[in-house]
Amino acid sequence: MARKRGHGEGTIYRRPDGRWCAQVTVGYDPETGRPKRRTVYGRTRQEVAEKMARVMAEAQQGFLADPSRETLAQFLHRWMETVQKHQVRARTYEEYAKMIRRHIAPALGHIRLDKLQPAHLQALYATKLQEKA
């Protein structure tokens, strides 16, 4: 007999189309209090279980992109206002904001967090190095 999963462990089930699906709660909306869920799909139960474990690990480490399709510019603005504003000195905060405004936002700000790839960052680095040379 299958055991019942505990709170926060997610759920795995087979869809009518034959694919396996897993859903896990990755946080809660601060305004509404509703859970934010992430869904992953796969061909086998084991594949979905591995994907779900990765999503849960990313959520615990804070690396998980917001499922609301937030762009990098939106994330950086929120990060600056909620985290950095209270952790760094005023001059450092201004320098961070200037770097984001002049360099990061124009090049990568339009990209959604769930679509952002290391290649995007490498391209930005390469461009900035060529501009400097």
Write out the DSSP string of 62-124: T-PPPTTT-BHHHHHHHHIIIIIHHHS-HHHHHHHHHHIIIIIHHHHTTSBGGG--HHHHHHH
Can you give the residue ranges of every domain in the chain? Answer: 11-61, 72-132
Average pLDDT over residues 97-101: 95
Buried b (16+ CB within 10 A) or exposed e, 8-39: eebebeeeeeeebbbbbbbeeeeeeeeeeebe
Q: Which two tokens stand for residue 13?
A: 């089930």
What is residue 83's predicted lDDT score, i.e. its pLDDT?
79
Are 66 and 113 contacting, i.e. CB atoms less than 8 angstroms apart?
yes
Q: 63: pLDDT confidence band, cut at 50, 70 and 90? A: low
Q: What span, in angstroms and rounded, lies between the C-alpha atoms of 5 and 52?
A: 14
Evaluate if residue 27 carries a pLDDT over 70: yes
Percent of the chain with pLDDT over 70: 87
Are 18 and 2 contacting, i.e. CB atoms less than 8 angstroms apart?
no
Q: 4: pLDDT confidence band, cut at 50, 70 and 90? A: low
Average pLDDT over residues 29-33: 76
Average pLDDT over residues 50-64: 80
Average pLDDT over residues 5-34: 84
Average pLDDT over residues 90-114: 93
